[in-house]
Amino acid sequence: MSSAVEKQDISQETGGQDSRSRRSGGREARRAMRAAPLADDVRPIRPGLEGGRYKPLGQNDLERIHEAVLTLLETVGFANAIPSCIEACTRVGVVLGEDGRLRFPRELVMSTIRNAARNFTLCGQDPKHDMVIQGKRVHYGTAGAAVHLVDVEKREYRESLLQDIYDAARIVDGLDNIHFFQRPMVPRDVPDPLDMDFNTLYACVMGTSKHVGTSFTVRENVAPALEMLYTIAGGEENFRARPFVSNSNCFVVPPMKFAEDACGVLEACVEGGIPILLLSAGQAGATAPAAIAGVVVQAVAEVLAGLVYVNALKPGHPAIFGTWPFVSDLRTGAMSGGSAEQALLTAACAQMAQFYDLPGGSAAGMSDSKMPDIQSGYEKGITNVMAGLSGVNLVYESAGMHASLLGFCLESLIIDNDMLGHCQRCVRGIEVTDTALSIDTIAEVCLNGPGHYLGNEQTLRLMQTEYFYPAIGDRLSPKEWNERGKPDILGRAIAEKKRILAERFPRHVPKATDDRLRAKFGELIKLPRSGMGC
Amino acid sequence: MSSAVEKQDISQETGGQDSRSRRSGGREARRAMRAAPLADDVRPIRPGLEGGRYKPLGQNDLERIHEAVLTLLETVGFANAIPSCIEACTRVGVVLGEDGRLRFPRELVMSTIRNAARNFTLCGQDPKHDMVIQGKRVHYGTAGAAVHLVDVEKREYRESLLQDIYDAARIVDGLDNIHFFQRPMVPRDVPDPLDMDFNTLYACVMGTSKHVGTSFTVRENVAPALEMLYTIAGGEENFRARPFVSNSNCFVVPPMKFAEDACGVLEACVEGGIPILLLSAGQAGATAPAAIAGVVVQAVAEVLAGLVYVNALKPGHPAIFGTWPFVSDLRTGAMSGGSAEQALLTAACAQMAQFYDLPGGSAAGMSDSKMPDIQSGYEKGITNVMAGLSGVNLVYESAGMHASLLGFCLESLIIDNDMLGHCQRCVRGIEVTDTALSIDTIAEVCLNGPGHYLGNEQTLRLMQTEYFYPAIGDRLSPKEWNERGKPDILGRAIAEKKRILAERFPRHVPKATDDRLRAKFGELIKLPRSGMGC
């Protein structure tokens, strides 16, 4: 192979010349080399790559934000706590004021941070999808509660359905660069809250063996869900040992008020062994300050209050530091998930989680654009790469999302899988070793060699392990592109979606288990077996 | 205004709810507030924002790369130097080997770095466009030598023409977030090299009063260009005092060989008072090593050799550290400008320029996609924001470019202006001051206030100065988008391009000066006055 490559002519591709190389001899050989799947440890990208090389905040900034947070928690505190929350929190030292607000002494906040769960694993049903949440390890996944599915072919928004959730789950199940599946849409065809919560979770866990995140409307809806999960796990202990579902919990109505129903859900999930994503979703200029630093302060204060609450209920219960502040377009008040300010907020929150050495989750990839177009591309690319480089452990909303969380798109999942691959390659960064510095290689090529690196041993060795190749991204020359009929990335994504939906019906939950679930829950299960390829 | 805003209902926009706010009372007032143009010093973004919060390389990595560079320069050196280069370089201590290679002693390299020009200004014809190149100040601009213009309406690539260069220049002239204009295309309708060089420059400097970059094919083509520039400047001294054109100079054919014609051009430009962009454009795995660190080593070595050369010709002549390594898709050998590896290379090169405190320029924004689609969006967004965050002084190729430098698109310029605005807002980062931390604001809103920040004094104060608003980016809700006929960003960009091309004919070069040029150069000038709105 090396000689075939060496024989090719070298034409230099610079900014100054139209000299796209026209090599062919080595191409097929190199393509064949690429066709063999790589072992996980030599893949150019993988879940849990270490981020953190981008730091929007300096050390002094972090300390000032932390001090402001402690001040807010002990002087402003939280309104609207439910009785069980008051009971649990005051037991550990939270102070109930005459104005009804719970205030958090700084010593309690600090000891909670010290003793909180960290370095835990968010499990998949399949252990190969386990995510070790620690340090600055980065994972990307979905999330959201879109009410629309984006129909790319018809160029329209329609209501999202239960089947769409299952379809999104099974698409994500096969996309390497999307590491977890939090429910991204609400099923508008299942309006009853219990039906909705139960079936959303059912569609998710049947659709993918990756870690799943979901929400519950009220406390009472947790019990049947737990029964389903314990059944799938083969018993309560099995689920508690490897919880493959976490609860995305909006326990706070910013600014600084508890959400009563969500708190009930939180308590039931802690009791049932479900990890909690403590999600504070203030919106800058509306439910959070307009100053970026102030948004971070409020979000961190809110999530730390939630952390005290969870640890008051059950010390060491796994909880994710879910600072998810959003941005408003202050001209209209509408949310702007694709904005630069959003990218900064998310990255700053990552640093605060790292400041506390807590497992951090935040949101990126929320395009304002309605369709998978160039705007959605740059908004997703900018926000997701900054999230990854900052070292957020869990990047939620990173794939498929449009219209600032109102529309979810299956084709975008497939395109975004490539985009997230690029982000992960950027997170992985640059290896600087004696070999990588390449002094000997450069000297050999210049002084004794062919004057180029095409057939070099180093090139052949690194092409698979150091370079990320997109699955449907287009790298054709204009000439090739024209000859192939000017292919369009949306067309490729539509075709790939149809292929996946026709072929991929995950069977990680055995039929016998699903039989038991259907026997146990009867008509509560709304997703027909026909929609599951049975 | 504040009370009107306060009266609006607050609906919380979270990941869990379909509750896009429907406020109207304050919108118009806030829109009116936004309509007044802002003074430059309070704009949310501006040229020269300070980057550097993203550091792909650690201090030890930088030092190891530097050491490898010095080793290469003194042991491998450069082939193919022209006699005048050998003469100038050996005079300052470069060693000509028996193998014909010039080798650079490390003391000479270090003293060159110490004494080289830094902290200089790249001037515009209009001083308001001057760029102060120092530290980690970031500027974005165009560049390239595309041979095609991307026709978005016909969805096709056609040959690029002289008029296209002028049109691109005048579009860039009015786009705030593109700070300089290096010629992005070659005029395929002007094949003679002298005609091409002269007219390319003429189209650029007539089309925009921003700083211009251009190339010359051979040394002899520099003289008439200088005559044109001196005429426009109102005399040679005026031009030398405020050179508003720099020479993009590919003086090296990687790996480690001088490009003979470009070196002749370089010498003529140094003599004529034109700043030099010392451009090394190796391609990883083809004309540079496949290891990312090795690519950086080679690029830095090559540019430092050029810096020695320039300073041997004229100590302190302004030169830009133009490490522009490119990436190959190693499966095919084709360039991949939109890749993650490209983003890493560009950011690493920025750090090396900072390591030497030299004015650094590198390339980002080079999409592999043929059209302004979602792929081009994420490729441009990822690479450009990482370039900015790393603090590259001059980001070349950042707008308009497609097909890995083979196609340039006028509509993309307009879209990319928004994208670069987002990038610049990210570069600007987060202000952490007592006021921005917002403790008092949060306490007031929670304890005594309305429970939201919509009408807050801080919100109204910051909405103009802290938030970047895209010009054609879409932030409509799905409902509004539907009601407005599902507008498409490409449609808006096409319309805006047509409006600009019909209306904007820059007149910073007075008609009398152009008359003199046309009298002096006669038929050498190929751009008809009719194409210039006369």
Of A289, A339, A473, Cβ closest to residue B453: A289
Q: Which residues of A touch B292 (CB under 8 A)?
A: 430-431, 436, 466
Contact B452 A8 (CB under 8 A): no
pLDDT of residue A27: 57
pTM higher than 0.90, yes or no? Answer: yes
Residues paired with residue A321 on neighbouring β-strands, in sequence order: A278, A360
What percent helix, strand, coil does chain A show, rounded to 5?
A: 50, 15, 35
CA atoms of A325 and A320, how far apart (whole Å): 15
Of A56, A403, A407, Cβ closest to residue B429: A56
Q: For residue range B124-146, list pLDDT tens digits in order.
A: 999 999 999 999 999 999 999 99
Q: How confident is the model at residue A5 (pLDDT cuts 50, 70, 90)?
A: very low
Here the ipTM equals 0.94
Closest by alpha carbon to B351, among B435, B293, B422, B433?
B293
Q: Which residues of A touch B373 (CB under 8 A)?
A: 373-374, 377, 488-490
- Phi–psi pair at B319, nearest 5 degrees: -140, 145
Give the residue on A whose Cα is nearest the Cα of B62. Answer: A432
Q: For residue range B183-237, list pLDDT tens digits in order.
A: 999 999 999 999 999 999 999 999 999 999 999 999 999 999 999 999 999 999 9
- Phi–psi pair at A137, nearest 5 degrees: -70, 135
B72 contacts chain A (CB < 8 A): yes
- Indicate whether B298 pLDDT > 80: yes
A42 contacts chain B (CB < 8 A): no
- Phi–psi pair at B174, nearest 5 degrees: -105, 5
Q: For residue range B365-376, list pLDDT tens digits in order.
A: 999 999 999 999
Domains of chain B: 49-61+64-428 (3.20.20.480)
Contact B458 A290 (CB under 8 A): yes
Q: Which residues of B touch A423 (CB under 8 A)?
A: 340, 382
- Indicate whether A20 pLDDT > 50: no
Contact B422 A382 (CB under 8 A): yes
What tokens were used for A225? 């869900």
Q: How far is CA B501 from CA A326, A392, B279, in A?
A: 38, 44, 32
- Indicate whether B13 pLDDT > 80: no
Q: Which residues of A touch B435 (CB under 8 A)?
A: 291
Rounded to a whole number of angstroms, the distance from the CA of A515 to the nearest CA of chain B is 31
Give the pLDDT mean for A53-70.
Answer: 98
Among B442, B444, B466, the strongest candidate for a mutation testing the A interface, having the largest count of A CBs within 10 A, is: B442
Q: How confident is the model at residue B39 (pLDDT cuts 50, 70, 90)?
A: confident
Contact A343 B430 (CB under 8 A): no
Closest by alpha carbon to A532, among A513, A517, A514?
A514
- Indicate whether B6 pLDDT > 70: no
Give the residue on A whose Cα is nearest the Cα of B146. Answer: A18
Using DSSP, state whether B157 is helix, strand or coil.
strand
B389 contacts chain A (CB < 8 A): yes
Rounded to a whole number of angstroms, the distance from the CA of B112 to the nearest CA of chain A is 22
Q: For residue range A390-426, list pLDDT tens digits in order.
A: 999 999 999 999 999 999 999 999 999 999 999 999 9
Contact B13 A326 (CB under 8 A): yes
Rounded to a whole number of angstroms, the distance from the CA of B434 to the nearest CA of chain A is 9
Average pLDDT score over chain A? 93
pLDDT of residue A28: 60
Q: Which residues of A touch B376 (CB under 8 A)?
A: 374, 377
**Residue B146 Ramachandran class (φ > 0 left, ψ -120 to 50 alpha, else beta):** beta
Closest by alpha carbon to B288, among A519, A442, A15?
A442
Give the residue on A whose Cα is nearest the Cα of B402. Answer: A478
Residues paired with residue B212 on neighbouring β-strands, in sequence order: B181, B245
Q: Using omega within 30 degrees of 0 as the cis cutoff, is the peptide bond preceding B255 cis?
A: yes
Q: For residue range B449-468, list pLDDT tens digits in order.
A: 899 999 899 999 999 999 99
- Indicate whether A533 pLDDT > 50: yes
Q: For residue range B342-394, list pLDDT tens digits in order.
A: 999 999 999 999 999 999 999 999 999 999 999 999 999 999 999 999 999 99
Interface of B with A in 314-333 (CB under 8 A): 324, 326-333
